[in-house]
C-alpha cells in the first residue's frame, strides 16, 4: 500500500508541523531525530508493546495503529491548546 500524502491547508506548513512534532515528543521524553521526526512512532509503539516495524505492518490492527497515532497526536493537540491559552492570557495583559 502506498503511503498517503498529507496536505496542509497552509502551504509550507509541513516542515513547521514536523518541527513542532519533534519538539513536543522531545518534551514528552522521547528521543527524536529532528531530521526524521516521524520515526518517533517506533519508540512510542515499543513503549506500548505494539509490534510496529518499518515497512509493511499489514498485521497491525486499526486499534493498535490508532493508539500510536493517538499518543503522538494527543500530545501535539494538548501543546497547541496550551500555547493558545497562553497567547490569549498574554493578549489580555496588553
What confidence tens digit (pLDDT) does each residue in 54-77 have?
888 888 899 998 999 999 999 999
> Length of the chain in residues, anyone?
94
Return the pLDDT at 11: 84
pTM: 0.75
- Mean pLDDT (the chain) is 86
The CA distances from residue 28 to 22, 23, 51, 59, 79, in Å, are 10, 9, 21, 28, 10
Q: What are phi and psi of 52, to 5 degrees?
A: -90, 130
Of the chain, the percentage scoring pLDDT greater than 70 comes to: 90
* Residue linked to cell 493498535: 64
Amino acid at each position: 500500500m502506498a503511503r498517503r500524502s498529507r496536505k496542509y491547508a497552509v502551504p509550507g506548513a509541513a516542515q513547521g508541523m514536523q518541527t513542532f512534532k519533534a519538539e513536543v515528543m522531545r518534551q514528552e521524553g522521547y528521543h527524536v531525530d529532528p531530521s526524521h521526526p516521524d520515526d518517533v512512532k517506533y519508540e512510542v509503539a515499543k513503549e506500548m508493546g505494539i509490534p510496529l516495524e518499518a515497512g509493511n505492518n499489514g498485521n497491525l490492527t486499526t486499534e493498535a495503529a490508532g493508539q500510536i497515532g493517538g499518543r503522538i497526536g494527543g500530545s501535539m493537540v494538548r501543546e497547541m491548546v496550551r500555547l493558545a491559552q497562553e497567547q490569549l492570557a498574554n493578549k489580555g495583559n496588553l
